[in-house]
Amino acid sequence: MAAEAEPLTNPPLGTLTVAGASLLADPSGALFFESDGLLFVADLHLEKGSAYARRRVFLPPYDTAATLARLAIVIERRAPRAVIALGDSFHDAGAGERMRESDRETLRALQKGRDWIWIAGNHDPAPPQGVGGQAMAELRVGVLVLRHQPAAGACPGEIAGHLHPAARVRSVSGTLRRRCFVSDGARCVMPAFGAFAGGLNFLDEAFAPLFGGTAVTAHVLGRSRVFPVADTRCLRD
Amino acid sequence: MKKPLEHNLPLPPMFRDWFAARGWAPRAHQLALLAQARAGKSVLLVAPTGAGKTLAGFLPPLVELAGAQEPSRRGLHTLYISPLKALAVDVQRNLELPLAEMRLPIRVETRTGDTSASKRQRQRRDPPDILLTTPEQLALLLASADAFHLFAALKRVVLDELHAVVTSKRGDLLSLGLARLRAIAPGMTMVGLSATVRDPDELRRWLVGQTPGKSPAPMAALVTAPPGAPAEISMLDTRERLPWAGHGGAHAINEIYERIKTARMSLVFVNTRAQAEAVFQQLWHVNEDSLAIALHHGSLDAGQRRRVEAAMVAGKLKAVVCTSTLDLGIDWGDVDLVINVGAPKGASRLTQRIGRANHRLDESSRALLVPANRFEVLECRAAIDAAMAGAQDTPPARSGGLDVLCQHILGMACAAPVDADRLYAEAVSAEPYARLTRADFDDALSFAANGGYALQSYDRFAKIKRRQDGLWRIANPKAAQAYRMNVGTIIESDMLKVRLVRGGGGAGKPGAGGGAGPLYYPAKLAGGAAPSAYTGRVSRGGRVLGEIEEYFLEMLSPGDTFLFGGEILALAGIVENEAHVSRAKSDAPKVPSYAGGKFPLSTYLAERVRKLIASPGSWKDLPEQVADWLALQAEKSMLPPAGKLLVETFPRGGKFFLVAYPFEGRLAHQTLGMLLTRRMERMGLKPQGFVASEYALAVWSLADAGTRAAKGLFTMAELFNEDMLGDDLEEWLEESALMKRTFRNCAIISGLIERRFPGKEKTGRQVTISTDLIYDVLRRHEPGHILLRAAREDAMTGLLDLARLADMLARARGKIVHKNLERISPLAVPVMLEIGREPVYGEAQDVILAEAAGTLVEEAMGG
């Protein structure tokens, strides 16, 4: 409530350094590489709702629209030269044909005037037909390597998705669980961006091979900005 | 015993002889009920505990079946439905004796979740005369194609503990099931058995089919048993100093123990599992005489609970510390004293608990109320006065939940193709749904079919489809299977199994080792040497101690210690859906249990407490400490005036506090706190947080609201204006965790999210998609969706208690009294002491993150 008043940290809030490259962590869950005008998002999981509906679990059929609407806001805010989606952008192989025409139009409008790269994910080894953009297995930008699934062992400069990190944070005022970026300064795992994408606590074993015991910071998505919280201040589920 | 007054048909000689042989005479209300039932009417019997209610309910079917000609081919005659499966089992045991002694060839069987698959199969093929079951089992039976055959000859339904069932979604589901039964067997009549309630007519309507618009609404006949001997209720006037806050009753533990010693068998009721643990633990600390004291609450392993129950019936126990799990009407043996620790919450609830003592009408029940803090003294006093006056404050009838209707519609489609018009007519014949609109029904039908979204994109995946003949048929056998696995409306908070993974060897602490576990601690352990039977080391992958609410575990970190099953346990970690624990060596649990009450203070009792405070003339019945405290309040500030809302403001510790006394219960106060802090934020008062108790609400802020109000810069009327229920509420609901939990329950009951699927049961953490995410998306994209409407309706009376808050704000209009004080008032002390004990609310999410981030900076700068 009273948090807006005083600045709490020395480095500007929301800055995240990966192998020397300075990136802006957006509270939406996107990462902006300002010097190159690149916007990274991970795990959009478009059409997850309709994928569940096939199994008669009728989740609201609005997740694609909701995800794209949030993406539109951050694109407008940062005006990137290119958008790079780090895989699992589509929930399954049938996502393309189930996607509504209005959502396709939204997507086309977002792609207009900029490059758009679909990095391959385990849910979407190849993007569906007719969604525009360019498919790639992974992408190198200077010191940065952009891919879906983080490689095991040290991998400086890697920015990946796949794990859907979330953090449970406790302070004197209470506890909450939010999506987060996880970084040790050498590499970074991005939060899932999709409206129906769940979160995995970054203290889970699945993250252990990536950070090899070094101190890790969770850059937790707040409402208006991203807050860096030391792993020692975070709780397991 | 009075002579039977009115009955058209005498009790058959066989029954009269049986009563006489037992030295009993049938009671007037038993005969009256028999007469009404045999005249073909549905009947409601309202009777206090011990009035022979169950026997009364079974007399009509037994008399009818005793006179029946063909025992073998008559089909299912009577269905008995109780909210507890233990009650069904208990009733079967109690029926065995008269059936055997009268040599009646009547078959009575139970059917619960524990009944084997083969027995269930056989029951469908060859039903007993009387089937004893639960609301969920009825729903399952009705969802099968056999239902029409099975219930074709049904004559009677006996509903036990009706007062308890009708206030919940289980009641909604049952009412719809009964509507279907009436359709299958139009001649069937009902017998409802109920404790004393505020308005019997509500239950009388509930029991019979309704015709919307018909006035007066049809009602079942009413038979009322005479009240039993008045209970002897007293309040403990403690020798100790009465605590200002807290709910544990620790100060009175020696006095409680003394009363247990002098009674034959005592039931010690508390309001929550955590309190049960705490009281049990404290009793064992003072148990110099090694009395057999046991613990019973819903989280304990079922086997353990059954052992405690059996020991009670066998008279082996001196006392049982229990929660509402023992509230309902099972006869647990020779209880002669009921001790209620903490606030009674409602007059009717108290009367029913007291009824647990002494199942004989003509003897008084003895009860002792032990208030745990000063406000609870007032509440206890008010509850005793209300109980003496025979006042009732059972909750009002509910209107049926839309989520339950969604579930029911799918079940009906599993049984047979559904004609929408007929099913609608059937649904509105159930009292809770009598005011259901066709539009809402159609939405529920559409939800059951394909999610019911405005965007009709899921048609091709539908669970039920409308065919050319106009009937809705189940489209996929897997949808029927999923329905059967997820039937019911009981959503436990997400529970995790508590598994003991290491033998701890806590010195001097008795433990529940070994296979079966003890019923109670065997002895006060002299010199720390525990008898070997109770110190068995348990290996990894050890036994399950019971289940615990996930939200409680969320407060803990590995290594934290807490009380469970009468022991101090340390959390080792959470693995999938199990909490692994070990015995702790510590003597006191580190994490104090969340000790708040589960039940809100009834409006009726709240009103009595308010009146009590406002009239010093009535304080003579209060303990001196409490009367002094109130007198001091009158001197330092003022007593909350009857019919008005007192708001105090004062500075303390560099912050400014605003304390209001609405007396509307914790839930309504929490909602009020959320909305007030939003408004204070906008007014520039810089609120920082709040804490709510049953009686009061305290908000703290950086700005001095009191002085500003005193200077006329804003008014309290402005602050407490009802319009906070408009946009402020909407904004808050957007993110309220309580609202999300409410939504989650609706999503599960309606069948949107499956709890169980073949081969696997999921716990909350394993549900593959978070209902919070669904809630967010749905609110934004289809705010009028039926599930959001269902959740909204629940929020009115449930976790947010909006209805009560709205009433309070309306009453307070123009009647707010503001006291700007220099220091904290005596009445404010209890709620101020809750700060730090209770979860602090506030839209403080970014604050939490900022605080955590701030600590990071401190660590970084300092280190």
Per the CB < 8 Å rule, is A230 touching B842?
Answer: no
Average pLDDT over residues A121-141: 95
Please compute the mean of the pLDDT values over residues B666-688 and round it to a whole number: 86
Find the domain containing B169 and state its range: 13-224
What average pLDDT does the segment B218-238 reach? 89
Nearest-by-CA chain A residue for B772? A196
**B676 and B789 inside one domain:** no
Q: Give the model's pLDDT for residue A25.
A: 96
Write down the pTM of the prediction: 0.84
Each residue's pLDDT tens digit, A96-107: 999 999 999 999
CB contact under 8 A, A1 and B842: yes
pLDDT of residue B469: 95
**Torsion from C-alpha of B60, B66, B69, B72, nearest 10 degrees:** 100
Burial class (CB in 10 A: 0-12, 13-18, 19+), B817: middle
- Please indicate, yes or no, if residue B408 is contained in any of the structural domains: yes
Q: Cα distance from A141 to chain B (closest Cα, Å)?
A: 30
Q: Considering only alpha carbons, which residue of chain B is nearest residue A67?
A: B777
**Do B649 and B755 share a domain, yes or no?**
no
For residue B378, is it within any domain?
Answer: yes
Going by pLDDT thresholds of 50, 70 and 90, the confidence category of residue B214 is confident
pLDDT tens, residue by residue, B53-84: 888 999 999 999 988 766 556 789 999 999 88
CATH number of A15-235: 3.60.21
Q: Above 50 in pLDDT, residue B844?
A: no
CA distance A46 to chain B (A): 13
pLDDT one-digit tens code per residue, B82-119 = 988 778 888 898 898 889 999 998 999 999 888 889 99
Is 90 exceeded by the pLDDT of residue B24?
Answer: no
Mean pLDDT of chain B, nearest integer: 83
Other CB atoms closer than 10 Å to residue A152's CB: what's the count?
Answer: 10
Which pairing describes strands A38-41 and A31-33: parallel, antiparallel, or unpaired?
antiparallel
pLDDT(B451) > 80: yes
Give me the pLDDT at residue B341, please: 92
| Tokens of residue B567, six digits | 């022991």
- Identify the pLDDT of residue B652: 87
Tell me whether residues B850 and A237 touch, CB distance under 8 A.
Answer: no
Give how many domains chain B has, as a whole number.
4
pLDDT at residue B708, as a whole number: 93
**Which of the residues A4, A173, A237 would you substitute to probe the B interface, choosing the one with the greatest number of B C-beta atoms within 10 Å?**
A173
The nearest CA of chain B is from the CA of A37 a distance in Å of: 28
Inter-CA distances, B812 with B644, B691, B798, B805, B809, Å: 6, 20, 22, 10, 5
Residues B331 and B444 reside in one and the same domain: no
Q: Do B756 and B719 share a domain, yes or no?
A: no
Rounded Cα–Cα distance for residues B356 and B369 (Å): 14
CB atoms within 10 A of CB A101: 7
Final residue in a domain of this structure, among B570, B602, B628: B628
Which CATH number covers residue B81? Answer: 3.40.50.300
Residues of B in contact with A29 (CB under 8 A): none
Backbone φ and ψ of B57, nearest 5°: -65, -30
**Cβ contacts of B768 on chain A, cutoff 8 Å:** 198
Facing residue for A53 by CB, picked from B461, B773, B781: B461
Predicted pLDDT at A237: 75
pLDDT of residue B741: 81
Average pLDDT over residues B667-693: 86
B188 and B80 belong to one structural domain: yes
Residue B784 to residue B798: CA distance in whole angstroms:
20
Q: B693, B659 in Cβ contact below 8 A?
A: no
What pLDDT, on a 0 to 100 scale, did the predictor assign at position B71? Answer: 59
CB contact under 8 A, B859 and A62: no
Q: How far is B663 from chain A (nearest CA, A)?
A: 25
Q: How confident is the model over B219-237, as a mean pLDDT?
A: 89
Q: Is B330 helix (H, G, I), strand (E, B) or coil?
A: coil
* pLDDT (0 to 100) of residue B518: 45
Any domain includes B134: yes
Asked if residues B377 and B142 have their Cβ atoms less than 8 Å apart, the reply is no
Residues B663 and B807 in one domain: yes
Where is average pLDDT lowest: B352-356, B656-660, B677-681? B352-356
Domain end position, chosen among B207, B224, B241: B224
Residue B688, min C-alpha distance to chain A (Å): 7
A229/B844 CB distance under 8 A? no
Residue B556 lies in a domain: yes
